[in-house]
Chains A and B, each alone.
Chain A
């Protein structure tokens, strides 16, 4: 039994500190995932709050059919998709919190970032999810397939399509 499993069992039995430990362990990565969808610090923080509240309220019904991490990411991805839909996916380039993005990089790459993120936002939901999980979270296809609840081959196909679409959307002069 892994550490997450033990912590969840302790939490279900009433140990509040076990939940604190889960948050400390997973919230930075979950925040990173959310940020890679919404590109905005404030939105990412709000969605992180929402994510963990959902987890807190539903952890008792978690049946360990997947790892906790997969389950957490699955909720996070769906929250992000729902959030972007509410925003009508109208993340205009000006909305991008570019000061936050790649803080180590200089301002001249701002336009490039805007162009790339703008293009990613034009992808259909599932392709975007697979692209972000693969490219920005470096997850293996097996893990992506579990998070998005599709087959491994679907994950690969969606990734190939996403990249092909992005190649058409992003102008050649932003390439390295």
Chain B
């Protein structure tokens, strides 16, 4: 009997292989695998892939006198100039993810919110029936044509917004549950008189929580930006009653560009929120494992 969905199992197969899941999850996957040929095949493929990659480790013969040469170089450099003991954090470009987990995650996530291009200004120009619009005999026909395309895109984006909001709500709910488990775990440690600082899961809880909150914040900001653009679009649409044809075309071109950028941002949001969901599953599994361990002790 298949107890969990194949997509759920697929996400966890690698950690299953590495024995990094909680016992309950291992059992769930185990029972799923016993009845699902496709997932068994996927697991076998994954195992094969990992075995291949591991067998092709980049290994090099250690250069002769490596340590001696390094020391020699350091001595030369320190004789050439006085030994400069300076703060590592001042080294340009070398701050090793020192911006912290939050900034790091956002950088990698690469939300283009930060790099969002300024609206491209379209120069006012005189249009007298371009090839594209030449069949639009009247102003009303032109407006209907442009509006039709814009409204369709807007509807798609509105649906996407709803989907994003659902994912965000699910994430927020999961966050609450994980916080509860975190507290439970903390209490278990207190009961067993184990110092909390020894527990990596507890130590990293605030880090990943902050990562996730920042990610959700960015997603909300993107949604907010879309809502504003939508309102702006509607207001612009009203002004088209009296605007010139050139202005109407220009506004539509610009609005379409904005929607295209937002569409790209939504795609990024989807990818990283999915990643965050997967992360939540992993954390959940870690907590279950730890709670069960401490309960058995």
A residues at B contact (CB < 8 Å)? 19-20, 23-24, 27-28, 31-32, 35-36, 39, 41, 44-45, 48-49, 52-54, 56-62, 74-75, 77-79, 82, 100-103, 109, 112-113, 116-117, 124-126, 135-136, 141-142, 145, 148-154, 156-157, 159-161, 163, 166-167, 170, 174-176
Contacts and interface: CB of A to CB of B under 8 A. Distances in A.
12 contacts: A24-B67, A31-B60, A31-B66, A48-B66, A78-B97, A101-B58, A151-B101, A152-B208, A156-B279, A157-B278, A160-B11, A170-B49
Contacts of B286: 152-153
B93 to A, nearest CB: 6
Interface string B16-59: 00001000000000000000000000000110111111111111
Nearest to B178: A153
Nearest to B12: A160
Interface of B: 11, 14-15, 20, 45-46, 48-63, 66-67, 69-71, 73-74, 77-78, 83-89, 91, 93-98, 100-101, 104-105, 108, 200-201, 204-205, 207-208, 211, 275, 278-280, 282-283, 286
B101 A149 contact: yes
Interface of B is mostly: helix
Given A27-B70, A153-B283, A176-B48, A36 B211 contact: no
B13 to A, nearest CB: 9
Contacts, number: 183
A44 B207 CA distance: 32
Contact of B70 (A49, A82, A101): A49
